[in-house]
Amino acid sequence: MAKYVYDFTEGNRNLKDLLGGKGANLAEMTNLGLPVPPGFTITSEACRHYLAEGATPDALEQEVAEHLGALEERMGRRLGQADDPLLVSVRSGAKFSMPGMMETVLNIGLNDESVHGLAKQSGGNDRFAWDSYRRLIQMFGKTVLGIDGELFEHALETVKGDRQDTDLGAGELQTLVETFKGIVREQTGKDFPADPREQMRLAVMAVFDSWNAPRAILYRRQERIPADLGTAVNIVAMVFGNCGNDSGTGVAFTRDPGTGRQGVYGDYLQNAQGEDVVAGIRNTIPLQELERLDKRSYDELMTIMETLENHYRDLCDIEFTIERGKLWMLQTRVGKRTAAAAFCIAVQLVDQGLISMDEAVTRVTGDQLAMLMFPRFNGGAGKRRIAKGMNASPGAAVGKAVFSSERAVELAGQGENVILVRRETNPDDLVGMIAAQGVLTSRGGKTSHAAVVARGMGKTCVCGAEELEVSVSERRFTAPGGVVVTEGEVISIDGTSGVVYLGEVPVVDSSVVEYFEGAEPDEDLVKAVDRIMRHADAARRLGVRANADTPEDAARARRFGAEGIGLCRTEHMFLGERRQLVEDLVLATGAEERQAALDALEPHQKEDFVGIFQAMDGRPVTVRLIDPPLHEFLPDLVDLSVKVATGAATDKDRALLAAVRRLHEQNPMLGLRGVRLGLVIPGLFAMQVRAIAQAAREVPGARPEIMIPLVAAVQELEAVREEAVAILAEAGVDALVGTMIETPRAALTAGQIAEAAEFFSFGTNDLTQMVWGFSRDDVEASFFSRYLELGIFGVSPFETLDRDGVGRLVALAVADGRRSRPDLKIGICGEHGGDPDSVHFCHDTGLDYVSCSPFRIPVARLEAGRAALSDSDSDTR
Ligand code: ADP
Ligand code: MG
Ligand code: MG
């Protein structure tokens, strides 16, 4: 029989699927002997059942009652018992942490009677009891009953005036409770439920339901978390941080999530409960100051943090509460961190002997590396610095200030860069945060909602810039010195230093890029990147090549670690001053004129190849013969028509206009291009092959590979191959001749094609277009955002290779190709070659190399290393 409830003593950290992250880690801490309040977890399986069937499983009620009974026994109190109540929290907790996305209700079990019992229990602390009660109605009203939280906030503000919440006395809080109950009655037509068990039951359902709240759905889509996991629910005996100044609540990291440096990082708030710290209702104090306030708890906390780091072998974040000098642990998990911190922490843990270098490589990702390669501000010299907040999530962001999520989305939709400015963010701001370049808040610390979510998304964030007065209703903020910034004015925020500038600050290269460019590693971060890259390179099986068309790109690619060029496009060689020559080619009326035009192009082509072969210094260079439709090289139809209409046209213009009309295609991506051009225009491919051969003769050690685009049938390839082989033989140049696999038919007939090809290179951009039937330029603008919204795919198939569709064709072509020609060399040269997930796919599918743009090469190297290391992981398992 299914078991739907686990006591904290029964679980462990490996049960995240079932118990959620929070529950699994509460169990793990319990079993480590740490001070965790007792409690139990209702499994995500129960939630899945509830979401699917609309009702909880039959056995659940009984199991919960048994566990609650055991908890009451243990605590010596019954839930909501009038004279001496047990109170509990009901907390959501899914497998993947979804900060602020799900619901939690504290102080369950209070009602008009038990509130007196609680006061008595606390030695007559009426203020504490009524404060807890008003919190219950407020949280329950908002999250379980769905009442607008503003109504409670407003009532609280009215009573509070200019005072802090801690200044409210017992009498005022008691009155507030009546007001809150009135709000509940008014909004729901029913009384606030006084029965403790009913409170608990409703709260559990609300947590289950919150799985499908719009903001949770959006967050999952953004983070690519599967939609059908469901959430677990934790029922935890309450401990109270709001008993007075000997109590409080805090959050901490075992090391700095921004830089990875070891030390004490956290925020603490005296006389407060749970959410208060992250909600920014009062200003927190740095955790270090707790040592002065309560040395015993502080020391115990430090010991526990060390225990957790050694146990999890990673940075952990924690939530804790102190109730009258007694420390309680309420949550831990392996903490989110910035990209820079991820690299630094990984090598620190190696140096501490906690993890191996292999594991260190798997602890960082290509996405994080890519983030470190973003440019940063050049120090902001000459720009007006208007405030400094906390460096919550690194990077450099420039954009127009906007003060609401709606505006952020609206302006971003018009192609504007925006910075979302708020006093503090809440889960409803998620859409705005996604749309913005960066986020700036005036309240809240490094653990605030804005900071946590921005770090998770890799979005630049400065938080807690307290000098700023943000007025959302007036759509502006003020900064010291009389600075007023209204909506639409450009600001720049530096998530690495926390500084906010007025106007646009220019940006410079990152130190990680400088390192890849050849600079000696000096800062800790760069040293960490260096060590991890070396290890990844040693581990990887996949080769990494570059897509590069110019000697400059080729040289940069080599510095970044490219082992060759996987795609050298030749079309740019027909642009600029050489357009003229292409026009002559198109307008040629006979064989002779055509050959003359080709002869004129050849020396230019040769020069281009010489430069690239030199830059690659003996490494292979795959040259793709001309691919795009010829009309791309001709003047614009409209321009020509206007010229002709206004009488400004020359004879050549008139001829060109006729040619453009003749070459016009309804669907050029499926028209006269690639190998089809080579077969239709005699001498075109031959000219290119000759130029390659001549260049190869001039550059010692050059290793050209000739690649034919858009082949769909082996007969096409055979026809052009024969000519190419003859030219190469005549020139005495050794070069492989191969093909792109970018039409579905090529993939399906790869066995035949391999007879005529010495290598394959998957052109996954075209292949994706043709397999999906998407015209990329059209669909991305017109309906992709809708498809992403609807979850038809979690990520564009042009960004991450679609394993289920395109991937199957690739795998089939690899298998059939190698069957015909066992030593067939196989690579990929679409944009997917630099995408982390796609690199893993290429590794798994047995490709020899990936090829990507120069800036993605370090990412591909790292991911190829990670892919190889995760193989050997599973070998040892
Ligand atoms: P989240 O997932 O948003 O962090 P939590 O379930 O962790 O939500 O709870 C919100 C806040 O309430 C946290 O600060 C947590 O530490 C606090 N809290 C939760 N359960 C208890 C409890 N039993 N006693 C005291 N504080 C609690
Ligand atoms: Mg929490
Ligand atoms: Mg293509």
Helix (H, G, I), strand (E, B) or coil at 491: strand
Among candidates 85, 153, 93, 150, which has minimal Cα distance to 120? 85
Ligand 2 centroid distance, CA of 258 (Å):
19
**Model pTM score:** 0.83
Ligand 3 centroid distance, CA of 833 (Å):
14
Concerning whether 852 is annotated as a catalytic residue, the answer is no
412 vs 414: CA distance, rounded Å: 5
pLDDT at position 573 is 79
Residue 459 has pLDDT above 70, yes or no: yes
Ligand 1 centroid distance, CA of 61 (Å):
24
Task: Look at 38-42, 187-191, 269-273, 645-649 and tell me which has the smallest mean pLDDT.
Answer: 645-649
99 pLDDT tier (thresholds 50, 70, 90): low
Ligand 3 centroid distance, CA of 566 (Å):
13
Ligand 1 centroid distance, CA of 191 (Å):
26
Residue 610 has pLDDT above 60, yes or no: yes
Scored b (16 or more CB within 10 A) or e, 168-205 reads beeebbbbbbebbbebbeeeeeeebbeebeebbbbbbb
Q: Which residue among 95, 104, 132, 234 is best mutated to probe the pocket of ligand 1, counting the most ligand atoms within 8 A of its Cβ?
A: 104
Task: Look at 173-182, 297-306, 430-439 and tell me which has the smallest mean pLDDT.
Answer: 430-439
Tell me the per-residue pLDDT of 810-832, one tens digit each, with 9 for 90 and over. Answer: 999 999 999 999 999 999 998 89
Residues belonging to the chain: 877
In ligand 1, the atom with minimum distance to the C-alpha of 320 is: 16
3-state helix, strand, coil in the chain (%, to 5): 50, 20, 30
Q: What percent of the chain has pLDDT over 70?
A: 97
pLDDT at position 65 is 97
312 vs 831: CA distance, rounded Å: 37
Ligand 3 centroid distance, CA of 9 (Å):
58
Which letter does DSSP use for residue 853 in this model? Answer: -
Concerning whether 829 is annotated as a catalytic residue, the answer is yes
pLDDT at position 572 is 77
Average pLDDT over residues 574-579: 79
- What distances in angstroms separate CA 522 from CA 240, 365, 511, 516, 541, one per listed residue? 48, 22, 9, 13, 29
Among candidates 504, 439, 430, which has minimal Cα distance to 468? 439
Scanning the structure block, which residue is given the tokens 């003020």?
478
Scanning the structure block, which residue is given the tokens 């599967």?
226
In ligand 1, the atom with minimum distance to the C-alpha of 98 is: 2
331 lines ligand 1 (CB under 6 A): yes
pLDDT at position 876 is 34
Q: How does the average pLDDT of the chain come out, rounded?
A: 92
Q: Which residue among 8, 77, 88, 91 is best mutated to probe the pocket of ligand 1, counting the most ligand atoms within 8 A of its Cβ?
A: 91
Tell me the per-residue pLDDT of 249-263, one tens digit each, with 9 for 90 and over. Answer: 999 999 999 889 888
pLDDT at position 222 is 67
Q: Which residues contact 88 (CB under 8 A, 6 or more apart)?
A: 39, 71, 79, 108, 109, 200, 235, 236, 237, 238
238 lines ligand 1 (CB under 6 A): yes
Q: Which residue among 40, 71, 106 is best mutated to probe the pocket of ligand 1, counting the most ligand atoms within 8 A of its Cβ?
A: 106
**Which residue CA neighbors atom 27 of ligand 1 most closely?**
274
CA atoms within 13 A on the CB side of 557: 33
678 pLDDT tier (thresholds 50, 70, 90): very high
pLDDT at position 512 is 94
In ligand 1, the atom with minimum distance to the C-alpha of 97 is: 2
Residue type, 614: Q
665 vs 769: CA distance, rounded Å: 18
89 lines ligand 1 (CB under 6 A): yes
pLDDT at position 875 is 38
319 lines ligand 1 (CB under 6 A): yes
**Which residue CA neighbors atom 15 of ligand 1 most closely?**
274
Residue 872 has pLDDT above 70, yes or no: no
499 lines ligand 1 (CB under 6 A): no
37 lines ligand 1 (CB under 6 A): yes
Tell me the per-residue pLDDT of 480-518, one tens digit each, with 9 for 90 and over. Answer: 989 999 999 999 999 888 999 999 998 777 899 999 999
In ligand 1, the atom with minimum distance to the C-alpha of 237 is: 23
Q: What percent of the chain has pLDDT over 90?
A: 76
Helices (H), 465-578: 511-516, 524-539, 551-559
Task: Look at 106-115, 134-143, 303-312, 782-791 and tell me which has the smallest mean pLDDT.
Answer: 782-791
* Ligand located closest to 746 CA: 3
The catalytic position among 344, 461, 568, 829 is 829
Token pair recorded at residue 346: 């990984």
pLDDT at position 113 is 97
Among candidates 370, 861, 854, which has minimal Cα distance to 612? 854
The catalytic position among 49, 67, 449, 631 is 449
Q: Which residues contact 254 (CB under 8 A, 6 or more apart)?
A: 305, 306, 308, 309, 315, 316, 317, 318, 335
Residue 624 has pLDDT above 70, yes or no: yes
pLDDT at position 543 is 98
Residue 874 has pLDDT above 70, yes or no: no
330 lines ligand 1 (CB under 6 A): yes
259 vs 261: CA distance, rounded Å: 5
Q: How many distinct helices (H) and strands (E) make up the chain?
A: 36, 33
Tell me the per-residue pLDDT of 1-16, one tens digit each, with 9 for 90 and over. Answer: 689 999 999 999 999 9
C-alpha dihedral, 160 to 164 to 165 to 167, nearest 10°: -90
Q: Which residues contact 56 (CB under 8 A, 6 or more apart)?
A: 46, 49, 50, 205, 208
Ligand 1 centroid distance, CA of 39 (Å):
13
pLDDT at position 786 is 75
pLDDT at position 214 is 83
321 forms bridges with which residues in the sheet? 249, 328
